[in-house]
Amino acid sequence: MTIIYLTLKTISIFILFLLINQYLFCPQYHFPATHPFSGNKIYNPYANADSAQWRKCNFHAHTRAWKGFTSGTGSAGKLWNRYDSLAYDVHCISNYERVNRYRDTAVNYLSAYEHGYGLRKNHHIILNRRKVIWGEYYFPQTLSNKQHMLECLRVNDTALLCINHPLLSYGFAPDDMRVLSGYDCIEVLRGDNTYSFLNWDAALESGKPVFILANDDVHDIAITFEVARNCTWVNAGSSRANDIIRALKSGNAYGMIIGGSATETFGQKLARVNAGMPLLRYVHVSGDTIHLRVSEPALRILFFGSGLQQLAPEQNGMNGEYILKSTDQYVRAQIFFDDGTQIVLNPLFRYDGKFPEQIMPEVNEVRTTLFRIMGGIILVGYIIAIILLPHRKHHNSI
């Protein structure tokens, strides 16, 4: 009975420590007021795009890891071969808290891992970083928890930090995206129709220059439908890691929802991919007019702005055009094709000629200190109480 009692006491102290560490020891941030994009110039992420240099990429996929404890089946070799056969130029293995080094000498190898194992799936992808960061907040996270994790995961300019599937389990609400800072991309398009346009729009409305990733987030490579549902097309001079990261950080990429049927075989999917997919030819800005062109006739071309508002009547064909208004903070295009494929472009936004930096929240030192003192008092008080409790019971029995 004593062993059980000691075990329960130890577990209770550990859980209390996790709670206090998350909610009271975590730095408390002051989030500054946000400002929409502004300026007399238009940032066009595709200004230097070369239509012959689009690289098809998937940055989020899982294999069997941690002896099967985490969600993921199949080997790294099978996943690599499957994406190679579907003409992906770059395809990452992004297991939880583990960098897979399969084919790490290949020219198109890009290291990746998925961070996050808390209750609300506050997950991130870190690209081009081979050292895993283990820290995590396990319970539903506050804004300060989320900001602190972003700052812990942000390392240097050669790595890329993306917030994964923010809509999944509501790990990141749209209001969170308005104030959180320090990340490069949002996984707007994810495997099973988990599309986070609301979250992306909230960040863009707040003047944050964050760009799209589109991934499969495959967990079972043997299921045909899980593979090649989405991809990110990156405009880069090569498939080397540094070129891919540089293009993603500048927004010279776009997301694609790949049309297809849930019942098609892998052979049918392969034939469809080999037949070719529509591609972006260019996005030009001339005066106050955006011109775009795609490689195949589109069913619909739509332009969206702040609040997911459609800015103009839909167009079709291979060319789209939108005349910017003085009230447009940013504009992004979404292009639909008759087979269900969609192209989702990164935003063009107003700026003053200098790429806008995200304003990082500052730690509220007074609030942080008070919270930590409170946490220390609670933790020490609880430990003293459970240590003295048996003595009190013994004294009372005498």
> What Cα–Cα distance (Å) separates residue 169 from each residue in 120, 122, 176?
6, 9, 14
Could you read off the pLDDT of 40-59 as tens digits, one per residue? 999 999 999 999 999 999 99
* pLDDT of the residue at 194: 84
Tell me the backbone φ, ψ of residue 278, rounded to 5 degrees.
-65, 145
* pLDDT-derived band at 388, boundaries 50, 70, 90: confident
Q: Is the pLDDT of residue 31 over 60?
A: yes
CB atoms within 10 A of CB 212: 25
Alpha helices (H) along the chain: 2-20, 76-85, 143-153, 174-179, 197-205, 241-250, 266-274, 365-397
Please state, rounded to an integer, the average pLDDT across all residues of the chain. Answer: 94
* pLDDT of the residue at 390: 61
Across residues 207-235, what is the average pLDDT? 96
> Which residues 6+ apart lie within 8 Å of 319 measured at CB?
291, 292, 293
Strands 315-323 and 309-310: unpaired
Tell me the backbone φ, ψ of residue 214, rounded to 5 degrees.
-130, 120
Across residues 365-374, what is the average pLDDT? 98
What is this structure's pTM?
0.94
* pLDDT-derived band at 155, boundaries 50, 70, 90: confident
Q: Is the pLDDT of residue 317 over 50?
A: yes
Across residues 85-90, what is the average pLDDT? 96
Across residues 130-157, what is the average pLDDT? 94
* pLDDT of the residue at 262: 83
Its sign, for the CA torsion 344, 349, 353, 358, is negative
